[in-house]
Chain A
């Protein structure tokens, strides 16, 4: 299996606080990779380094054979055309309705101007996320789960090759979380995407992940399949898994 993104010895600090302290990770093409770790360990920082919102202090992120940490603004913008990103709270533009939100990247990135084509693509994407006919609703009229689905539709609008998910199931009840998980698997398989998810929802990670990476103390302390993670003798990972599952069972 080929690696689509390779992260090598990535460091990032904010002032005196070291967040990433030598991260090494390979993201396989066509797979769902889930980065787990406690809150505040730098999972979002890692994702933002990959997409070029943050610049690492040192280290390399290779995409299509090129080190994106050396890219200038134009090359980063160009690279981002291959990426979709689902934010934790979906980050829908609150001054636009759902249809305009989904059409936004098509208009801006793909320079699509034909209103009929745009409307058709928006309708197709809303069908894909099982929310047909809500084009004219405002983001403020949507529930948390609906917002995430619409955020996913917007992320898929430009036919990305890689899609990054920032805590896609956080704040959702188990049934909604499960429906989002199923949607992630569906779009990854049907659209031949590579999905990189950051999460601390362990049951969800083990349920849908092809590969689990555990970010701890600024480094990837473990990476492997969910089965390998369960059998790993890494004490912190085991404690993290046990605590998360225990909390879910308790709930």
Chain B
């Protein structure tokens, strides 16, 4: 309960600083690059293989019903609604959430955050806010990339393993994939980005106890973010299915 209380206070501090000048564009772009550009390859590799595995699994089932041509649309729907945002978030937690916690945590234990405060700079404004904004903007971009490469992976498997005609593959995607599937995935991804950044930076911010504490903060950040992302995804899916999808 105490931890939840502290986290709520932390959230209030972060949200009160989100729109407060000066806007630290250089830090924002630095984190955009760190999360975005530097993580693209990992996201591409993990979601391409996910698309391929999914196509393989679905292909064998659908072949029983002579419905292999629907593999592309099924993979595209699964990816854009769920798998791309979740896979992207989990990859970014492992790669960036952990480093956010470790960086801020090691700054805490070496008194760098105290130094910042003494120089009249709020560490939340300087260190946390640019990371939160960067995550908010870059998570959907990487999710979009994940959608594309995941479908490309499914395309490769469908056309080579199951001999699905290329034009049929895309035609079925065009027929069944609703733009709202993509929008909802991207929206969820932006919110998951904020959740990951907030939990990871919080764990770094409250680090105590030297190098051991930094290690503990990093582990807690990864575990908590992963669980929070899955829970938040379920809640958002429920809301979106009842609003966006129904409206669509």
Contact = CB atoms under 8 A, between A and B. Distances in A.
B119 A87 contact: no
B120 A109 contact: yes
A165 interface: no
Contact of B110 (A53, A80, A91, A108): A91
B120 A85 contact: no
B120 A87 contact: no
Chain B, interface residues (CB within 8 Å), range: 10 to 19
Contacts of A105: 119
Contacts, number: 45
A108 B115 contact: no
Looking at A83, A93, A158, the one whose CB has the most chain B CB atoms below 10 A away is A93
Contact of B111 (A77, A78, A91): A91
B117 A53 contact: yes
Contact of A108 (B103, B112, B121): B121
B247 interface: no
A20 interface: no
A80 B115 CA distance: 11
A94 B112 contact: yes
Nearest to A157: B119
A104 B111 CA distance: 16
Interface in A32-64: 48, 51, 53
A81 interface: yes
A104 B116 CA distance: 9
Highest count of chain A CB atoms <10 Å: which of B106, B115, B117, B121? B115
Contacts of B114: 48, 53, 87, 91
Contacts of A158: 119
B41 interface: no
Nearest to B116: A93
Contacts of A88: 111
Interface in A80-124: 80-81, 83, 85, 87-89, 91-95, 104-105, 108-109
B151 to A, nearest CB: 38
B128 to A, nearest CB: 14
Contacts of A93: 107, 112, 115-116
A83 B114 CA distance: 14
Nearest to B119: A105
Interface string B104-130: 001100111011111111000000000
Interface of B: 103, 106-107, 110-112, 114-121
Given A93-B115, A93-B116, 19 more contacts: A53-B118, A77-B120, A78-B120, A80-B119, A87-B114, A87-B115, A89-B111, A91-B110, A91-B115, A92-B112, A93-B112, A94-B106, A95-B103, A104-B119, A108-B119, A108-B121, A109-B119, A109-B120, A158-B119
26 contacts: A51-B118, A53-B117, A77-B120, A80-B120, A81-B120, A85-B115, A85-B118, A87-B111, A91-B110, A91-B112, A91-B115, A93-B107, A93-B112, A93-B115, A94-B106, A94-B107, A94-B112, A95-B103, A104-B119, A104-B121, A105-B119, A108-B120, A108-B121, A109-B119, A109-B121, A158-B119
Interface of A: 48, 51, 53, 77-78, 80-81, 83, 85, 87-89, 91-95, 104-105, 108-109, 158
